[in-house]
Amino acid sequence: MNKTNKKSVKTLAIWTIAWVLSTALAAFGPVFVWESQTVLTGGAIGINFLVGIGMIFANIHHITSLDEMLQKIQLQAMGITLGATLVAGISYSLMDTTNLMAADAEISFLVIFMGLTYMAAVVIGYRRYK
């Protein structure tokens, strides 16, 4: 990993941590800190959205700083993740709307599924070219 890669990984990590923290603030702030004050809740969600955009740009910068093979691994992992999340997400939603499962479908499950699929696909990709 060269200096540019290290810097882009660090920048991406900072943006990701900031996004996770701002998500936690927007989710738990109205419940535990400011007790449903609409202005503060709206502000927290706005900050979360803007930090999320920053995280996307940091990710784009990180991907473009990688060499061609590492970009290929990332692209394949993203393709697998997109397809798997679409298929699993629709099936999960259908199970909810057709009452095949008792609980409501939660977006958080889909986000966890997406993260785990992406991580697994990246690890498999790296092993394939090892």
Partner 1 sequence: MKNRLKVLRAERDFTQADLAEKLDVSRQTVNAIETGKYDPSLPLAFKISRLFGLPIEEIFEDQG
Question: Contact positions toward partner 1, by CB under 8 A?
Answer: 1-2, 5, 66-70, 72, 126, 128-130
Nearer of residues 71 and 93 to partner 1, judged by Cβ: 71
Beta carbon nearer to partner 1, 71 or 91: 71
3-state secondary structure of 72: helix
For residue 74, the minimal CB distance to partner 1 (Å) is 12
Cα–Cα distance for residue pair 99/121, rounded to 1 Å:
31
Amino acid 14 reads: I
Min dist CB 96 to partner 1, Å, is 42
Q: Which residues of 46-59 are buried (b: 16+ CB within 10 A; e: fewer)?
A: ebbeebeebbeebb
Nearer of residues 72 and 82 to partner 1, judged by Cβ:
72
Which two three-digit tokens encode residue 90?
A: 């629709």
Eight-state DSSP code of residue 29:
I
| Three-point CA angle 12, 15, 17, nearest 5° | 105
- Measured from the CB of residue 67, what is the shortest distance to partner 1 in angstroms? 4
- Closer to partner 1 at the Cβ: 67 or 104? 67
Smallest separation (angstroms) from partner 1 to the CB of 85: 27
